[in-house]
Amino acid sequence: MGRCVRRRQFLHRLIMLSSVFLFIFGASGAGAAEKGSIEQKDDGVYQMDSTVITATMTEKTLFEVPANVTVITSKDIQEKNVVTVTDILKDAPGIFVERPKGIADSSGGIQIRGFGESSILVLYDGVPVNSAYSGSVDWSSIPIDTIDRIEIAKGAASSLYGGRAVGGVINIITAAPENRDPKVKVYGYYGTNNTWRRGLSVKQRLNDKFSYYLGYEHQSTDGFSNKVSSSTSSGSANPTKTIGTGLVVSSKVDGKPRYIIGSPGNGAGESDIYNLKLNYDFDKDKNISYSYTHNKFKYWTEDPVTYIHDAEGNPLYAGSVQLPNGKWYNFSESAFTDYYGRRTTDIHALRYADNKNNFYLNFGVTDTKESGYSKGSYFDGTTPGSDVSYPSRVLKANLLKTWETSEKNTLTAGIDWQNQRMTRTSSNLAHWHDHDSITSVNYVEGGKNDIFALFLQNDYCINDQWELYAGVRFDHYKNYDGYHNSPEKTILYNETSYDEISPKIALQYHADDETSYYLSYGHSFNPPSIYQLYRSDGTYIGNPNLKPEISDTFEIGMKKKINDKTVMNLSLYHTDTDDMIVTETVPGPDSDQRRYNNVDNAERKGLDFDISHKFSDQWDGYINYSREWMTSSEGEGMTSYISPEHIFHAGINYHYDKWSASLTTEYVSTRNAPGDISGVYLSYDEFFIANIGIAYQISPDCKATFNVSNLFDEEYYLWYAAPGRTFTLGLVYEF
């Protein structure tokens, strides 16, 4: 289908959706204005006086911050009735979420301004949850029910946060209970593909000093078929097994043939999350809090499907089928088996806050105790197979102090320390569904690093209109204890270190109480992961001399209160990235071996625009649009298609009495290279999807919800097949 046709469909569907939505809810909305029974939203969507801390590490309003910041509140989350944390983020300006398997997704992630998760710092109660192994985020370990607010600060932030804060910082903040009476919450959401999100929590402020939160959440899904069992080879001269028919001829993205014989089945997953938060107030200004989250997650594929049948019509999971060229594709059960994976994560966060003296001390641990996957050649999980395991751990401590040195000057300083470690083990298993049935070890490799940093930021009010922010951070990285140990060889890598200085300067101009402009420059960096430094498994050769990827970002932005009901934000940015880490073939006799190296650079130019408007006490809506131009060069230069050029979101919300409803839409442009084919396995298609949610407050304690995602049942690929239309029914009871 051509792009022009798809875009006409996009506009047609958007107009049709708006018309239907207005028809359904418009009549009651007209009368609602007289009753005025809906609560006024006060979450900062329409007001720029919402307080944020992420962009500057000091309390500022959205209007005062010289950066593009989005705030998502607990109220927003409750109204979205989401199943995963990334569902919360997907409508935010400038964010692209690529997790088509939802709960069962183990490898998909998010992008901000073309940067992937390893270049986005994600914090949960101040603790970085990016894996020490690869920099990715275990989104299943973050319990939705605990979230008070999410602050998304886009753009360079290494001057305050160090490595990974290149595309931005996502700060997930939980709240301490305020109610003296115990507050119990029981909830359950059930939907398509036998998908469940259900949980129980209790929270209470016991007295003036002590409060607690306890929670448990279970998530599970039978999933859907998003992979294919296929071959792209030209085949063999002769059949070797029972001959069948039913081959489906498709295409690769380059137009060459792909021969599909079936599917490994539905990608299923389940997650159990336990969480605890304790808060003790010494007085009205000083408190200490501790939060703990334990997540056990596993994923697998079940119910394989074959398209190939023998002459009697019996399904074949091992056989031979003739290709169009006359040759034969000989296949076995291994073509239909998939990963059997797991991950166990503990997150600890301890925080002391002295708000009177602006002094804060944080300590945290993200301990991925178990992570990996196994693979086998037969459906029977008691048969032999192989396993790869890669547990990791991040320890972090920091100290932050802010001084108001004068009425016009605020100084912030801090110290950071961080330790990361990772181990990667390849083993053979007696039973590939039993990760502990190890019969032999192929290799063990890993390493550690230490990070020490100092940072300083000064906020100077030149006058009532002009404000200057200047900051700098010094990071010292030491990589050590890198090794690879196998029966064939033992490699011990030398200790390496490097220093990085990350300055940032921002100038803000408040034209009036409704309009502000800012101009900023920031230097940021993304350190190589331990995996990239020390992977030496035969396919790859370790490279302990990897340098960090470094980026320089210029940004100009405007924030505008058009009136009491309308807020607009616009930012333009230009980022140059050098020393990008990519895989390259190692020259020499072992030309099939690869390694990570700093051989690439990239240029990103883009804009983020969003506008929100409150039509009445019952109606509000938003539109946001992001566009990015990205080119990367490696030698002669090439264009990169790892991020979409266009991202568009629009939504409208309705609130009246006991009813609330929302209509949200998302358009994402293709990421296929010119000439590549869309709509086939492993393509990156453009898509437009719409979602509708309805909620009814049955009683003050009980709410029912109903959601439809991908309303038009759009078929598209995000490498793997994306889900079709899904339905979710929910019930929340609080007492």
Which residue carries 């970085």 as its tokens? 128
Q: What values do phi and psi take at 622, rounded to 5?
A: -150, 160
Alpha helices in 425-553 (DSSP H): 530-534
Are 281 and 292 in contact by the 8 Å Cβ rule? The answer is: no
- Kindly compute the dihedral angle of the four CA atoms of residues 38, 40, 41, 44, in this order, to the nearest 10 degrees: 170
Q: State the Cα–Cα distance between residues 410 and 456, nearest whole angstrom.
A: 11
Does the structure show a pLDDT above 60 at 9?
A: no
Question: pLDDT > 70: what percent of the chain?
Answer: 92
Alpha helices in 399-515 (DSSP H): none
Are 458 and 409 in contact by the 8 Å Cβ rule? The answer is: yes
pLDDT in tens, 221-232: 999 999 999 999
For 695-706, the three-class secondary structure string (H helix, E strand, C coil) is: EEEEECCEEEEE
CA–chain centroid gap for 622, Å, is 22
| pLDDT for 109 | 86
Q: State the Cα–Cα distance between residues 550 and 526, nearest whole angstrom.
A: 6
For 306-369, the three-class secondary structure string (H helix, E strand, C coil) is: ECCECCCCCECCCEEEECCCCCEEEECHHHHCCCEEEEEEEEEEEEEEECCCCEEEEEEEEEEE
**Encoding tokens for residue 470?**
């200047």
| pLDDT for 105 | 85
Q: Which of 398, 281, 381, 296 is nearest to 339 (CA)?
A: 381
| pLDDT for 593 | 84
pLDDT in tens, 381-434: 999 999 999 999 999 999 999 999 998 999 999 999 999 999 999 999 999 999
pLDDT in tens, 135-188: 899 898 888 888 999 999 999 999 999 999 999 999 999 988 888 889 999 999
CA–chain centroid gap for 179, Å, is 32
Sorted by where each starts, the structural domains of the chain and their CATH numbers stand as 3-734 (2.40.170.20)
| pLDDT for 633 | 66
Q: State the Cα–Cα distance between residues 69 and 516, nearest whole angstrom.
A: 14
Average pLDDT estimate for 530-553: 92
Altogether, the residues listed in the chain come to a count of: 735
How many other C-beta atoms lie within 10 A of the C-beta of residue 565? 14
3-state SS class at 484: strand
CA–chain centroid gap for 119, Å, is 11
Average pLDDT estimate for 12-38: 40
Buried b (16+ CB within 10 A) or exposed e, 510-528: beeeeebbbebebbbbbbb
- Kindly compute the dihedral angle of the four CA atoms of residues 296, 299, 303, 307, in this order, to the nearest 10 degrees: 180
Q: State the Cα–Cα distance between residues 364 and 121, nearest whole angstrom.
A: 15
Are 172 and 157 in contact by the 8 Å Cβ rule? The answer is: no
Does the structure show a pLDDT above 80 at 35?
A: no
Least confident of 20-29, 116-125, 257-266, 644-653: 20-29
**Encoding tokens for residue 567?**
């807020």
Q: State the Cα–Cα distance between residues 555 and 459, nearest whole angstrom.
A: 18
pLDDT in tens, 707-726: 999 999 999 999 999 999 99
3-state SS class at 16: helix
Q: Which residues are CB-neighbours of 709 under 8 A, at least 6 positions away?
A: 689, 691, 723, 725, 726, 727, 728
How many other C-beta atoms lie within 10 A of the C-beta of residue 2? 8
Buried b (16+ CB within 10 A) or exposed e, 621-632: bbbbbbbbebeb
Q: State the Cα–Cα distance between residues 624 and 574, nearest whole angstrom.
A: 19
- Give residue 695's pLDDT band: very low, low, confident or very high (50, 70, 90): very high
- Give residue 2's pLDDT band: very low, low, confident or very high (50, 70, 90): very low
- Please tell me which of 26-40, 540-554, 577-591 the model is most confident about, judged by mean pLDDT: 540-554
Q: What are the beta bridge partners of residue 581?
A: 598
Does the structure show a pLDDT above 50 at 245?
A: yes
Are 504 and 523 in contact by the 8 Å Cβ rule? The answer is: yes
**Quick one: which H or E segment has residue 543?**
none
43 compared with 685, residue with greater pLDDT: 685
Sheet holding 243-244: strands in order across? 243-244, 319-322, 328-331
| pLDDT for 591 | 63
Mean of per-residue pLDDT scores for the chain: 89
| pLDDT for 99 | 86
Least confident of 63-72, 95-104, 414-423: 95-104
| pLDDT for 28 | 37
